[in-house]
Amino acid sequence: MLFHLTPSPDSDRLIGMGAHMERMQLLLRLDLDEVRMIGIWGQAGIGKSTIARFLFNQLSNSFQLSAIMVNTKGSYPKPCLDEGSAQLQLQNQMLSQMINHEDVMITHLGAAEERLKDKNVLLVLDDVDRLAQLDALARKVQWFGPRSRIIITTEDLKLLKAHGINHIYKVAFPSTTEALEMFCMYAFDQKSPKDGFMELSLQITYLAGNLPLGLKVMGSYFRGMSKEEWTRVLPRLRNRLDGEIESILKFSYDDLCDEDKDLFLHIACFFNHGVIKKVEEHLANKFLNVRQGLHVLAEKSLISTTSDKIEMHNLLAQLGKEIVRKQYDGEPGKRQFLVDDKDIYKVFTDPTTITRSLIGMYGGYNLNWEELNTSDRVFERMYNLQFLRFKEFLVELSMPNSKLETLWEGIKVLRNLKWMDLSCSINLKEIPNLSTAINLQELNLKVAMKIETSRYETENDSAGMNKAAKQAGKVPDVFYCLKLLEATGISTVSGSGFGQKEGVFHLRTTILRAEEEMPEIMESFKKFNDEFMSQYGDNSGYSRM
């Protein structure tokens, strides 16, 4: 049996709800007589409660009895010294709502089964975080009559599995289009930005990371503001969480044990988007079992571990940084991590700062390294420093398969950049200014578009050489130390940096178009190839140009 959505005053605001309902119908199976428990799982603020409440409003009239227990974890004392009394109180609230009678009094937990076992019931348990809550409200399906449906929302996947719930809906993030519409509904009371606000709206949607709670709070905050006010406020939002968002996200963090809290902070401040294997190696001496800790964080919806990488939502990462900032307000040297340029500057320039607790620093592009005291002695005060990352000291940039058209504007300090992989970036229009990348050794511009075998292709490199791009833009002229260039579909190669230094020894290319524009550089490549072939011989697997 399919249920049809009944229009409600809030229907227009609930972007994407139709798609959620279609997926939920497959789990609810209202055509079956069995009693079924369904879990709605996802991180804080992603819309679990909104989905559950919408379902309740749509379906409650189809059941003999119905109740929705909102904020279950908030109404359950923690720590609970008298578990039995707390469970009785919860069950009493549920039954009072079910029969619409405030004076229900029960003396044992079997009362729910006695009163509901022959009733067709819809029960929504929102925001559950402890197994004892489920034991009090829906211990087993036998408590309820045929065709009953019990819906549980939680951030904890382990809890659902422990209760034997196999029908689980994982709530995904809305698409970029849906996220923009959600934000606009709260900011402008319409699904699209007002004239002149598109770029600002997109920036805020990005900052919210498509998280519905963030979109709602930020949209409500900006509602009625002028464009000038938006522009003035936006920089602050890049580094600070709204209080309401922080309090909601912090629930799951507070429920972690001390070691898992510490792991959460390490990821938020330093290892977000990191490769799992590398993170485990880095933290092996710090934590007893990094893999198990990551598993706990994933079950709590605090991270995801897809494609061998750790991904933490940017609002959760901001939460972690806020927690670290508050560890020693005004005394950054006593914190575990420094993630703000101004705090790093203070620690480096104040010789009296004690930094025994400091284990990691993550500097941004705004940090002026030249103004800092960067002598070796400054690190003598940092007894326990383990992790150091400054963006000016970028060594490797790996962004294969990206959808970017450009990387950055202007000139960045890239004197330490050695490896750069932009392969399969089919939308790339130009390579950024690399005039400061004086130590660049490898540049990969292979793009995944198959073409006919090039006359420069060889048997040993057929996998890489049969790929090309329609356009990979211009190759900069400062590649003095370049050792490997993998390039396909290059339209223009300017300058004479190639072939002038002995460090350049390896060129791999499929097609260099518009050769009439670059006779000198092609001549250098020819000369280079001849030198390469004479040095390594024809067995190298590369053909002469």
517 vs 393, more confident: 393
pLDDT at site 384? 81
Instruction: Flag whether pLDDT at 492 surpasses 80.
Output: no
Q: Which two tokens stand for residue 343?
A: 């705090």
CA-wise closest residue to 341 among 318, 314, 369, 301: 369
pLDDT at site 357? 83
Identify the domain containing residue 446 by its residue range.
Answer: 396-540
Check which CATH number belongs to the domain holding 52 and give it.
3.40.50.300
DSSP labels for 296-317? Answer: HHHHTTS-B--TTB-B--HHHH
| Region 528-540 average pLDDT | 39
Of the pLDDT bands very low, low, confident and very high (cuts 50, 70, 90), residue 467 is very low
Residue 461 and residue 497 in one domain: yes
Quickly tell me which residue has 């320039």 as its tokens: 349
Of the pLDDT bands very low, low, confident and very high (cuts 50, 70, 90), residue 182 is very high
Is 52 within a domain? yes
Cβ-in-10-Å burial (0-12, 13-18, 19+) of 284 comes to exposed
Residue 436 and residue 481 in one domain: yes
Of the pLDDT bands very low, low, confident and very high (cuts 50, 70, 90), residue 514 is very low
Instruction: Flag whether pLDDT at 215 surpasses 80.
Output: yes
249 vs 253, more confident: 253
Distance CA 157, CA 303 (A): 12
Q: Which tens digit of pLDDT belongs to each residue from 387-439?
A: 877 766 677 777 777 666 667 666 777 877 888 888 887 777 777 778 888 88
Number of compact structural domains in the chain: 4
Is 295 within a domain? no
Residue 125 and residue 189 in one domain: no
Q: Which tens digit of pLDDT belongs to each residue from 342-384?
A: 888 888 877 777 677 888 888 765 666 666 655 556 677 777 8
DSSP state of 454: P
Residue 148 and residue 233 in one domain: no
Which of the listed residues 144, 170, 196 is the one where a domain comes to its end? 170
* Range from 431-440, 489-498, 528-537 that averages highest in pLDDT: 431-440
H-helix or E-strand containing 442? Answer: strand 442-445
Residue 493 and residue 415 in one domain: yes
CA-wise closest residue to 66 among 86, 94, 44, 39: 94
Residue 20 and residue 94 in one domain: yes
Residue 157 and residue 184 in one domain: no
Which of the listed residues 187, 220, 238 is the one where a domain comes to its end? 238
Is 113 within a domain? yes
Residue 409 and residue 367 in one domain: no
pLDDT at site 144? 95
Is 379 within a domain? yes
Is 4 within a domain? no
Q: Is the pTM of this model over 0.85?
A: no
Residue 87 and residue 230 in one domain: no
Residue 361 and residue 404 in one domain: no
Q: Which two tokens stand for residue 506?
A: 């390896």
Which of the listed residues 391, 410, 443 is the one where a domain comes to its end? 391
Q: Which long-range contacts (CB under 8 A, 24 or more apart) does 343-349 make?
A: 344/372, 345/371, 345/372, 348/372, 348/373, 348/374, 348/378, 349/373
Residue 118 and residue 148 in one domain: yes
CA 110 vs. chain centroid, Å, equals: 44
Q: Identify whether 79 is preceded by a cis peptide bond (ω within 30 of 0).
A: yes
Q: Which tens digit of pLDDT belongs to each residue from 108-165?
A: 888 888 989 999 999 999 999 889 999 999 999 999 999 999 999 999 999 999 999 9
Is 211 within a domain? yes
Is 482 within a domain? yes
Is 110 within a domain? yes
Residue 127 and residue 40 in one domain: yes
φ, ψ of residue 387 in degrees (nearest 5): -125, 125
DSSP state of 476: P
Q: Which two tokens stand for residue 358?
A: 């400091």
